Amino acid sequence: MITKICNHLNTACAIITYRHNFHFEYANDLYYQLFKYKRNDGFNYSLPYSNDYQKVKNTITSIIQKKEEFLEIETQSFNKDNDLIWTRSRLSFIYNNQSVYIICLVENITENKKVLKNLEISHQKYLHEGQFKAAIASDALVSYEINIDDDLIIEDIIENTVNMLKLVDLNTNCSYSEFLLRWTKKCVHPDDKNKFYQELHPHRLKKLFEQGITEVYCEYRSLNATQKQGWVSTTIHLLHVGETNKLFGFVYVKDINDKKIHELELLRQSQSDPLTKLYNRTAFGQIVNEYLNKKRESSSALLLIDIDNFKNINDNLGHSFGDTVLCEIAHKLTNIFNNKAIIGRYGGDEFIIFIKDIPSKKYVYHKASIILEELHLYYSSNYQEYTISSSIGITFSPDDGKTLHELFEQTDSALYRAKKLGKSQYFAFNDSYQDITPVTNYISKGWLIDELDEIVYVSSLDTYELLYLNRKGREITGIEAGEYNHIKCYEALQGRTSPCPFCTNAKLNLNEFYIWEFSNQHLNKDYIVKDKLVLWEGTPMRMEIAVDVSDTHNFNLQRVPTEFAIEKTILDCLQALTIPDTLEEAINNVLEIIGNFYQATRAYIVEIDLNTKIGSNTYEWCRENYPHYRDQLQRIDLNEIPYIYEAFEHHNNLIINDCEAIKKEHPREYAHFISREAHSLVTIPYEETGIFAGYIGVDNPSINQNTIALLDSINFSIVNEIKKRRLYEKTQYNLYHDNLSGLLNRNSFTQFLSYENSAVYSQGVILADINGLKEINRDFGHYHGDKIITIISSIMNSYFPSEKIFRLSGDEFIIIVNDLEYKQFIEATKQMEDTLLGSTPNGVSLGYTWSEDNMDINDLIHQAEELMMINKQIYYERADTYKKHYSPKKLENLLKCFKAKQFVVYLQPKFDIDQNKVVSAEALVRLEYPGHGLIMPNKFIPTLEKERMTRYLDFYMFEQICEILERWQKEGKELIPISVNISRLTLLESDFTNSLKRIKNKYNIPNNFITLEITESIGNIDRSIIATISKRIKDLGFNISLDDFGAKYANMSLLSTLNFDELKIDKSMIDTLVNNDKCQTILHHIIEMCKKINVACVAEGVETEKQIELLVCLGCNIIQGFYYSKPISLQEFEDKYHQ
């Protein structure tokens, strides 16, 4: 009968019996067809056909043992053709005495499984493609997909319509590793090639994925679609895709050039915290503000972390160990965020973190939990264990604010709440809670709550269980401390077994009290009740304050317990202390809150100099229309007001309700109070390291006069904030100032260069180096050396009081002078130089320059440095001591060459074509070095320039031509004018013209027979300086020749500034003259210009007759060059031209 039914079913069916073993009885044709078998193929499995036969057998045996009647299972197996198929079997069990009949209905679900599998794969790919698309939306330059296992790029790489694959001669479905190789060779910056190729290579991607890393990030410099090089980042998301489980990568490339340059700039400015190497407060603020300005609506989070109990580490294990702990904390924070957050050190033991583009708030809470866990650290010393933890305040942008200032205010408030919740906690700011104080803040102030005469309790809104009950509540209900947990509020206070029908929970909110009257029959008392929602460990709970008015008439319903007014004021003060950026603003805000609490006319802080016992009123708040007295209350001698001083010295507070009461007994104190119109006052002292250090007070309080608790509670916080802020200000000051001299330091100088003000009309730069400071320190001690540094700093400040003066290192200074006329700048600099020389053992080597034309500060600094080094060389030469910039052996050898006359003068004549005679000559130098023959200038001049010794050769050659001219004069020979080259640095020496005069005065010759040749490169110097130099030279009677004109560019402004007599056209223009019509036109105008301004024009480097013919046609009649004569020795020149 069963077999007939089985054959008529339209689904595969089999019948199995079980007594002690399973036996295959019968199966219909559809069953055999399902597995592609025939009846005579021997297919007679006793259980549903499965790859996991034993598992199926165990399952069915278990069902039979339990006498259950139905089972549905899914199994995986292979058919006769070895195709993998999925089946679902529905088994019915018929129990007959000792036998069990099992009817199996079997369904092929292979296609369904494939669909589900494909859906799963599609879903997985969809999720990752979602990330991929998000990356594209995040300003990606390029995005594409790679098959890492098969080493293929499976789509085009498009940037601004440019197919980047074609740039390296590849197409879609090309080898990814080949693309990397070609891109590395052609497009990646040389310094980044190795990093780019190795970090993004498919072999490395596979290894990273095996290690559980699913995202790879690399920054490098590369060409973009427009062939411009800049910083970019490549991010590859790694995942397995498809049935084959192959490794794919979703790649996107971002332009990070601006970000990277900014980071490098920060690094260059050394704006990291020197201890932890995290961003310092300034750098952190700059980066976060820039981000928030660009992405105001993006989701981000700000975390402020305070290290709990860190003071114990410093106090017990030392500040050096404390520094190590801070570095460890910084390292842990860096690892937690793995470069995906901006992390800074905000202050001593405070850290600040900004997380961009957060996926959810849950993600931030998870990170905060990790921080709490990682920063729960233990340290021990001398068998004593010290523990630190962290408290975290959290805000979210844009919900809690859109600027760093807004976010920080709320984060700081959240951190305060986290600290009050207990250590190792985080607290997230919420708009609806922003003015609400967690009730645990009150509970922690036991002396404020437990001592109240009112009942105060906190209970759960959901369960009504008491969470807190103060002393008064415990007394009146008979409940012991610690026993009220799990007791319902209605049981303890109303004697009820169910919630009160008059419960006010539905009427309460977080912002204000609900006030009502109630006669409590259970306690037999009349109460004014104040109910409110408060935060208990971050969750809203009910708080009730019940004021007993059983014996009071005409009770004011608006009365608020004084203690709670104090507590609210304390919290306001704490918030006011921490939010403002400046200490002055913070303290003034607190004093205003205190003044208003007492309805006083004035609130103030007086700080005491612990050495002199002199007090000064440092902070003051005055009510509107009341006069300020801070300026008058400076340098208060406490010995003159002993009544006040002795009270504070004995740690006593001072409350005077009427100053008239002390007039007779303490007249000096009375006069002191009346001088500031104080008729009553409340003051309390504060201490530093156990010593009376100042006091906080209010004058003329009109309410709460006898309430000292507020000042007593906020006292420590104010003093601590002053100390903390001043320490921070000192740290900031020390970061940018030199501790010894008080001048700005190198950090400040670096920052100045980054933000140098271009809105100035002139700029002067003075570089100074103290002569012989090292020897002074060595011979007389650093104390003496430090004294010299302070003297020099003081002198510099006296001459340039409003300018930026930097001490760059031990003996080096730089002064930047803005908007001072050249004459005033030079006068002040020279006077300072003279004063420095008279006030220090060895003087100071100065180099200075000034400009209103070339305002590139780096150029000015370089010019000043070159001149300073020349003056330093002069000092070394005179000082018989060899220093860091001095090369004594080289100078010694140079001077020996001068003395041995190894530097010899060669003369090259200048011919006047019209007169057909030599009219002047240029003196050129050659070196006759034993064993080397005649050495040309290009072999030794660069060395002298490098060693800054060209001045010695300049003055040597000048003196040589003076000797030559004097000898010619004595011998009765015709005096032929001679020109000599002067280098730019020699020309800029402050004593240059005096040096010329000293040399020239040794020889009795006319000055106008000497010409100083100055190269056109002097045009880089400011026109005022050039004009001054040229005037001094002309005043001495020497001629000036402008050499190499047109070598680089024709500096026309130089022609109008320099008072010169001769212009020499550079050989480079003469070389192109014959075949260049444009050059001929330009040269014609130069020659005509020279004629009009009465300046001789000399063509230099003339070598051919054709050049001569063109120059004559153009009007140039003075020629210098090999066509007439190469440079020749003095003897040859005299033999040839003195006949």
Structure tokens that stand for 924 in this block = 């050129």
Q: In the CATH hierarchy, which top-level class contains the domain 115-256?
A: alpha beta
Share of the chain above pLDDT 70, in %: 85
Which DSSP state fits 294?
Answer: H
How far are the Cα atoms of 637, 776, 819, 1032 from residue 874, in angstroms, in the given order?
Answer: 56, 19, 31, 22
What's the pLDDT score for residue 554?
A: 38
Q: Which CATH architecture has domain 909-1137?
A: Alpha-Beta Barrel (3.20)
What's the gap between Cα 173 and its chain centre?
43
Separation between Cα atoms, residue 129 and residue 1101, nearest integer Å: 72
Separation between Cα atoms, residue 1133 and residue 436, nearest integer Å: 101
How far are the Cα atoms of 523, 896, 962 from residue 900, in angstroms, in the given order?
Answer: 120, 6, 18
Q: Which CATH superfamily is domain 439-560 in?
A: PAS domain (3.30.450.20)
Residue intervals in the chain for CATH 3.30.450.20: 2-108, 115-256, 439-560
What's the pLDDT score for residue 301?
A: 95
Close Cβ partners of 704 (under 8 Å, ≥ 6 residues apart)? 562, 597, 598, 599, 710
Q: Is the dihedral of CA 964, 967, 969, 974 positive or negative?
A: negative
Separation between Cα atoms, residue 325 and residue 317, nearest integer Å: 11
CB count in 10 Å sphere of residue 310: 20
CB count in 10 Å sphere of residue 623: 15
Residue intervals in the chain for CATH 3.20.20.450: 909-1137
The amino acid at residue 54 is: Q
Q: Which CATH architecture has domain 568-721?
A: 2-Layer Sandwich (3.30)
Q: Which CATH superfamily is domain 269-433 in?
A: Reverse transcriptase/Diguanylate cyclase domain (3.30.70.270)
pLDDT digits (tens, 9 = 90+) for 458-506: 898 889 999 888 888 888 888 887 677 789 999 999 988 888 878 888 8
What's the pLDDT score for residue 136?
A: 45
Separation between Cα atoms, residue 779 and residue 830, nearest integer Å: 29
What's the pLDDT score for residue 735?
A: 77
What's the gap between Cα 933 and its chain centre?
60
Selection from 688, 679, 721, 449 nearest residue 591 by Cα: 721
What's the pLDDT score for residue 298?
A: 87
Only one residue has tokens 């990397």, namely 180
What's the pLDDT score for residue 1021?
A: 65
Phi, psi dihedrals of residue 516, rounded to the nearest 5°: -155, 165
106-141 burial string, b = 16+ CB within 10 Å, else e? bebbeeebeeeeeeeeeeebeebbeebeebeeeebb
Residue intervals in the chain for CATH 3.30.70.270: 269-433, 737-879
Low-confidence ranges of the chain (pLDDT < 50): 126-128, 131-132, 135-137, 431-448, 552-561, 881-887
Close Cβ partners of 1122 (under 8 Å, ≥ 6 residues apart)? 1101, 1102, 1103
**Domain covering 737-879 assigned CATH 3.30.70.270 in the classification:** yes
User: What is the pTM (predicted TM-score) of this model?
Assistant: 0.41
Residue intervals in the chain for CATH 3.30.450.40: 568-721
What's the pLDDT score for residue 1099?
A: 93
Q: In the CATH hierarchy, which top-level class contains the domain 2-108?
A: alpha beta
What's the pLDDT score for residue 959?
A: 94
The full DSSP string for 40-91 is GGT---SS---S-HHHHHHHHHHHHHTT--EEEEEEEEE-TT--EEEEEEEE
